[in-house]
Each structure stands twice: as C-alpha cells, then as structure tokens.
Chains A and B, each alone.
Chain A
C-alpha cells in the first residue's frame, strides 16, 4: 500500500463544466475526508465518510458539490457547474476510526477553473 492516491493531479476546466475527482484511501482506513486548500491557507473541511456512510458535510459545501464512497472503498468528489471560486487544491485524507489517529493525506488534485 503506497498511501492515499488521488487522480487526476491537475485539472483545468472551463467555467460551467462538471468535474470529478477520485481518491483511493489506505486500504485498512475506514474514514475518508475531503478538504479544500487555497493558496496560503490551511485545509478547509468539506465532507467525511465512515465506511460508505457520509456522516458530515460542511455548511460551506454548496449543492453543486457531491461526494460518494460506494462500498466504503474509493471516493469521488464531483463539482457541477464549476465557478472560478472553485479553483483550489482538493485534498483527500484517510484514517482509522476509534481513537486518536492523524490523517494521511493524498497529494491532492489541483483544480483551475478558467
């Protein structure tokens, strides 16, 4: 297991298009998180899964954002009708549940909306 994998690494899209990102967590980790990071800022929480259940969503997450984690394995994050303000690094992280465990982050997907 080589850690948390995210694809694609970079995505350039035109405003109004839909985009989808994929995250493959560490196989034994049952928690999966999506964060967004803009330049010079700390990561900002978007949503969280425990196994296949989406247990928490940030109130900052608009209806244009949706995430899934079918079968509790990989996860996808879709942004519909992208806006320039969506340009950011989208980070996925995974962890074990049931204790004080730090996250393992993926390398992120950098989205640029033009």
Chain B
C-alpha cells in the first residue's frame, strides 16, 4: 500500500517568513495530493490540493509543488502569520472507481512566532 512520509515534524518560523513542508510517497500510481490544516481540537480542513497532471498550484499565500518523478510534493506558505500556526498534514491517494482513500503523513506542527 501507499506510504507517505512528512518532514519536518515541527517547524518554527518568525512571522513574515516562509515555511516549507515536504512529503514523499511510495505508490507511483497515486494521483491526488491534498493538504490539510488542523488547529488544536478542531477538524482537519482542506487548504489546497494538486492532481498529478499539474506541477504547481497556488492560492494566495499557499502553494503546492509536485515532482512525480521523485515522488515528492511540498507545501509553501509565504508571509506567515500567527494564525497559520497549526498542524499540517499531507496526503496521497489514487482516485478511481474504487474510491479515494487518503494515506496521510505524520503531520508538521508549524509555530509562527509574532
């Protein structure tokens, strides 16, 4: 089955700096890669996703890049703000008729210091 590894496990940045979180996956057939943000005691929320036919996707201060050859993808947050502090999870799946079961990475705790 799929295995997703995520690093770093914790990341501390100064407000206004950029943050980068990296994930690798093992199943070359995976074709959908979402990122979730989970604040303390709350549900994971989808913040951005990318499909395997796209190399990069951007949404305001958040961007995701995908390297299919190397089987890794990254989340980039620019101009970080204290409200970006949360745990971020990457995930991978193979969308198809059989479903879209996500395999999650272990999470990155991002702390943005004001």
Contacts and interface: CB of A to CB of B under 8 A. Distances in A.
Contacts of A102: 34, 46, 49
Nearest to A42: B104
A33 B49 contact: no
Interface stretch (B11-19, B67-75, B92-100): B92-100
Interface in A98-114: 99-108
B32 A100 contact: yes
A41 B106 CA distance: 5
A16 interface: no
A43 interface: yes
Interface in B73-113: 89, 91, 95, 98-107
B51 interface: yes
B45 interface: yes
B61 interface: no
A76 B95 CA distance: 25
B45 A42 contact: no
A7 interface: no
A91 interface: yes
B104 A43 contact: yes
Interface string B37-49: 0000011111001
A104 B45 CA distance: 7
B44 A91 contact: yes
A60 to B, nearest CB: 11
A31 B99 contact: yes
Given A100-B32, A102-B34, A107-B42, A42 B107 contact: yes
A47 B49 CA distance: 22
Given A42-B4, A45-B103, A106-B43, 9 more contacts: A31-B99, A41-B106, A42-B104, A50-B99, A100-B31, A100-B51, A100-B100, A102-B34, A105-B44
6 contacts: A40-B106, A42-B89, A42-B91, A91-B44, A100-B49, A101-B100
